């Protein structure tokens, strides 16, 4: 256990120039934070910290992989682990079931127990009216690990995956790991493209609106795809408004409260799976003519004929580039997003021009759906790539960025 001075939110008394009165306000300040690290017999390595001033905010950090290690030990399952990464597990199916059990945790009860154990003194400060804590998840990281049989197998494949990942993120949306300054001195929050090689391995990260998905190799033979959610308001959860059971359930904004952690897990897992599928398209092994040939011919859907998609047409090219971008896997895209990409001048145009631009985009969305490249998210005006769309756009982007001479040499 140790203490350190860090930023906090705490009350202070300030003067109000208009009313000429003193007021109690909560503002950013600095105070001592007390850290308590543990190696719990049930949950493994973690920590909890509390600020020394009102409102005595408490923050905690748990790692599901360390927790899983305790579960494996309890069941007598063999494994090989490096830091927070499992390089091998004797029974992966059972390990996944144990990880799924973690989601059924009574989170308020767990954190309240840790609070009473490590910072029980807080209860003695307020007599018969103790503090009650509302537990929320400020940030969550959800990782999907793919274990290869050997380091050589992953080392051989990984450069291709990274190159493919860069092609899928044409927009400058990749930021330095953990949000620190990069080599150019740009501050976190600015959009940029960044590929970094560290002692742990190579990492590629896509960032949009404080939520991110990244891929990196770790512990030699593990490929990890990880979604981090900081801004929950970009996602939705199906629940009763204000938890009022008398009101019908509907899609509501995702909250940071631990009551919505199950939905965070679903959103993050879906993001990881879509990104893995995107990476898998880099080695689809299908001829380019077969992948792109289908969209280069007119199709009929629901009795309506749709034109072919011409990858070398300027607008069609930009449209395919846009829908393949990595950050679109986090939360999909809307008509307005594609409109701003294809017709940037419409942002400052009048409403009539914006409606005309949106109409053109609506027809393009119908075209993409007719060719089976995108699908609509149920009950939302958002779209994501289909399995076919991931393969087609990946092949198109790889071909459009390849060196012509190298392609001819490969074909020969």
- Please answer whether residues 113 and 42 qualify as being in contact, where contact means their C-beta atoms are separated by less than 8 angstroms: no
Could you tell me which residues come within 8 angstroms of residue 47 by beta carbon, excluding any fewer than 6 positions away?
A: 35, 36, 37, 38, 60, 61
Instruction: Measure the CA–CA gap between 254 and 273, rounded to whole angstroms.
Output: 20
3-state secondary structure of 311: coil
Residue carrying the six token digits 């740009």: 186
Indicate the burial class of 336 (C-beta count within 10 angstroms; 0-12, 13-18, 19 or more): middle
3-state secondary structure of 108: helix
Task: For residue 160, count other CB atoms closer than 10 A to its CB.
Answer: 13
Which pLDDT value is given to residue 143? Answer: 96
3-state secondary structure of 95: helix
- Please answer whether residues 88 and 80 qualify as being in contact, where contact means their C-beta atoms are separated by less than 8 angstroms: yes
The residue ranges of every structural domain in the chain are 136-283, 287-411
Instruction: Measure the CA–CA gap between 329 and 213, rounded to whole angstroms.
Output: 9
DSSP string across 241-259: GGG-TTSPPEEEEPPSBGG
| Predicted model pTM | 0.71
Structure tokens at 200: 């742990």
DSSP string across 113-175: HHHHHHHGGGGGGSTTS------B-S-EEEEEEEE-S-HHHHHHHHHHHHHHHHHTT-SS---
Structure tokens at 248: 């019908």
Instruction: Measure the CA–CA gap between 371 and 393, rounded to whole angstroms.
Output: 12
Quick one: which of 167, 169, 251, 255 has its CA closest to 212?
Answer: 169
**Does the N-terminal peptide bond of residue 43 adopt cis geometry, omega within 30 degrees of 0?**
no
Sign of CA dihedral 353, 359, 361, 364: negative
The neighbouring-strand residues paired with 6 are: 31
Quick one: which of 248, 58, 191 has its CA closest to 136?
Answer: 58
Which pLDDT value is given to residue 172? Answer: 37
Could you tell me which residues come within 8 angstroms of residue 32 by beta carbon, excluding any fewer than 6 positions away?
A: 3, 4, 5, 51, 52
Per-residue pLDDT of the chain (412 residues; tens, 9 = 90+): 899 999 999 999 999 999 999 999 999 999 999 999 999 999 999 999 999 998 999 999 999 999 999 999 999 999 999 999 999 999 999 999 999 999 999 999 999 999 999 998 888 888 888 888 999 999 999 999 999 999 999 988 888 788 777 665 543 333 332 223 333 343 344 444 455 565 556 778 877 778 888 888 988 899 999 999 999 988 889 999 888 889 999 989 999 999 999 999 999 998 888 888 777 766 555 566 666 667 888 999 989 999 999 887 888 888 988 887 755 665 678 999 899 889 988 888 888 888 999 999 999 999 999 999 999 988 888 898 887 887 787 777 666 665 544 544 444 4
3-state secondary structure of 184: coil
Which pLDDT value is given to residue 163? Answer: 73
Instruction: Measure the CA–CA gap between 386 and 392, rounded to whole angstroms.
Output: 10
287-411 CATH, one of 1.10.10, 1.10.4100, 3.30.300, 2.40.128:
1.10.10
């Amino acid at each position: 256990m140790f203490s350190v001075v860090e930023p906090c939110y705490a009350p202070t008394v300030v003067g109000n120039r208009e009313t000429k009165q003193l007021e109690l306000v909560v503002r950013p300040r600095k105070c001592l934070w007390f850290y308590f690290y543990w190696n719990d017999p049930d949950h493994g390595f973690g920590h909890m910290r509390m600020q020394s001033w009102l409102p005595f905010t408490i923050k905690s950090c748990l790692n599901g992989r360390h927790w899983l290690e305790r579960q494996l030990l309890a069941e007598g399952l063999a494994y090989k682990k490096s830091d927070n990464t499992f390089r091998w597990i004797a029974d992966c199916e059972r390990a996944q079931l144990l990880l799924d059990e973690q989601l059924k945790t009574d989170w308020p009860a767990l954190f309240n127990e840790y609070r009473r154990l490590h910072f029980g003194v807080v209860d003695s400060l307020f007599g018969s009216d103790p503090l009650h804590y509302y537990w929320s998840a400020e940030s969550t990281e959800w990782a999907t690990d793919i274990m290869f049989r050997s380091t050589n197998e992953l080392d051989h494949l990984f450069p291709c995956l990274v190159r493919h990942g860069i092609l899928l993120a044409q927009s400058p949306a990749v930021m330095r790991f953990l949000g620190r300054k990069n080599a150019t001195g740009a501050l976190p929050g600015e959009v940029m493209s960044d590929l970094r090689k560290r002692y742990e391995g190579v990492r590629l990260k896509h960032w949009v609106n404080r939520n991110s998905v990244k891929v990196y190799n770790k512990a030699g033979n593990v490929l990890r795809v990880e979604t981090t959610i900081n801004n929950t308001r970009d996602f939705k959860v199906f629940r009763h408004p204000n938890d009022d059971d008398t009101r019908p359930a509907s899609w509501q904004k995702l909250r940071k409260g631990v009551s919505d952690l199950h939905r965070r897990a679903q959103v993050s897992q879906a993001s990881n799976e879509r990104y893995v599928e995107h990476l898998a398209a880099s080695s689809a092994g299908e001829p380019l003519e077969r992948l792109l040939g289908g969209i280069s011919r007119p199709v009929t859907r629901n009795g309506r004929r749709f034109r072919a998609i011409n990858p070398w047409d300027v607008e069609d090219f930009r449209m395919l580039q846009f829908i393949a971008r990595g950050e679109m896997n986090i939360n999909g895209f809307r008509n307005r997003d594609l409109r701003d990409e294809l017709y940037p001048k419409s942002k400052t145009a009048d409403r009539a021009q914006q409606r005309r631009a949106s109409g053109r985009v609506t027809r393009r969305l119908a075209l993409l759906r007719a060719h089976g490249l995108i699908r609509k998210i149920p009950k939302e005006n958002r779209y994501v790539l289909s399995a076919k769309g991931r393969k087609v756009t990946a092949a198109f982007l790889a071909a459009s960025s390849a060196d012509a001479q190298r392609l001819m040499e490969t074909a020969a």
